[in-house]
């Protein structure tokens, strides 16, 4: 995740430049140094005030690519700190993602469960999809409530919620059972409004261009799987 310094830098939260940044190129070396010194002082003051530490509910949603990939970055960070992590995939499962192979090297600290059977247009069995989603949620809840797991990733659970496979109220109630210091990440497009309202950190991936849509480029190893 971004550090406190990232959040209070000269960039706004949407990642664009501020008006002051655009003017920086016209400043003299001395003026630029003074500007950066003032910014440094402001950042240090804000970071000093950020004293709260808590487990977070994180939502990665939107139509753009990268929701699961970003979440897996947090997984790797947690594993790097020596934490125990659990991943439950709600939709994927009919194919073997390459990340499952590389993460198998952390089997002493990582639980990885691909509980789905593939995309809904492939399964074409709503009752079975609901059954698999419920099984995945029961597995996920066992990790969410276990204080031994610092981070739990619920991959594509937002899709299960969007399709009505799981009641959002039930998922929200389950999230309330997590230990105070534990983090939970929920990925997938179409995250419902009540979940977004409850989350501590929400990122929406915006689709601008995609090679499959614009160029007919098929899914490739290392990029999509």
C-alpha radius of gyration, the chain, whole number: 20
For 37-75, the DSSP string reads: HHHHHHHHHHHHH-------EEEEESSSS-HHHHHHHHH
Where helices occur in the chain by DSSP H, the ranges are: 4-7, 19-23, 29-49, 67-80, 98-103, 120-123, 126-144, 157-162, 168-175, 193-198, 211-215
Computed over every residue of the chain, the mean pLDDT equals: 85
Judge whether 57 and 198 are in contact, CB under 8 Å: yes
Judge whether 224 and 69 are in contact, CB under 8 Å: no
Annotated active-site residue in 4, 69, 120, 123: 69
Distance CA 170, CA 137 (A): 10
pTM of the full predicted structure?
0.79
Distance CA 21, CA 138 (A): 49
Annotated active-site residue in 4, 35, 39, 65: 65
Annotated active-site residue in 61, 67, 90, 137: 67
Q: What local confidence, expressed as pLDDT, does residue 24 receive?
A: 64
Known active-site residue 145: no
Tokens of 32: 């630029």
Question: Tens of pLDDT along 118-160?
Answer: 554 455 678 888 999 999 999 999 999 999 999 999 999 999 9
Annotated active-site residue in 106, 119, 198, 203: 119
Mean pLDDT of 68-92: 95
Distance CA 159, CA 141 (A): 17
Known active-site residue 67: yes
- Secondary structure (3-state) at 195: helix
Q: What local confidence, expressed as pLDDT, does residue 165 receive?
A: 95
Q: How many residues does the chain have?
A: 225
Known active-site residue 68: yes
Question: Tens of pLDDT along 6-27?
Answer: 444 444 444 444 555 556 678 8
Q: What local confidence, expressed as pLDDT, does residue 16 receive?
A: 46
């Amino acid at each position: 995740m971004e550090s406190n310094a990232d959040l209070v830098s000269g960039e706004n939260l949407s990642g664009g430049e501020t008006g002051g940044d655009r003017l920086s190129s016209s400043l003299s070396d001395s003026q630029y140094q003074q500007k950066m010194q003032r910014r440094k002082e402001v950042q240090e003051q804000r970071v000093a005030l950020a004293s709260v530490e808590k487990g977070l509910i994180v939502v990665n949603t939107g139509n753009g690519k990268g929701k699961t990939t970003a979440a897996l970055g947090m997984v790797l960070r947690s594993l790097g700190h020596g934490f125990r992590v659990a991943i439950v995939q709600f939709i994927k499962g009919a194919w073997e993602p390459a990340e499952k192979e590389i993460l198998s090297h952390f089997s002493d600290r990582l639980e990885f469960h691909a509980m789905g059977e593939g995309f809904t247009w492939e399964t074409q069995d709503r009752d079975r999809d609901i059954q698999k989603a419920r099984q995945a949620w029961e597995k996920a809840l066992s990790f969410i409530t276990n204080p031994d797991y610092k981070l739990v990733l619920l991959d594509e659970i937002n899709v299960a919620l969007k399709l009505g496979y799981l009641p959002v109220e039930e998922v929200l109630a389950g999230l309330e059972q997590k230990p105070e210091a534990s983090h939970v990440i929920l990925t997938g497009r179409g995250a419902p409004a009540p979940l977004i309202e409850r989350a501590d950190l929400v990122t929406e991936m915006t689709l601008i261009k995609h090679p499959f849509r614009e160029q007919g480029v098929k899914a490739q190893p290392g990029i999509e799987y």
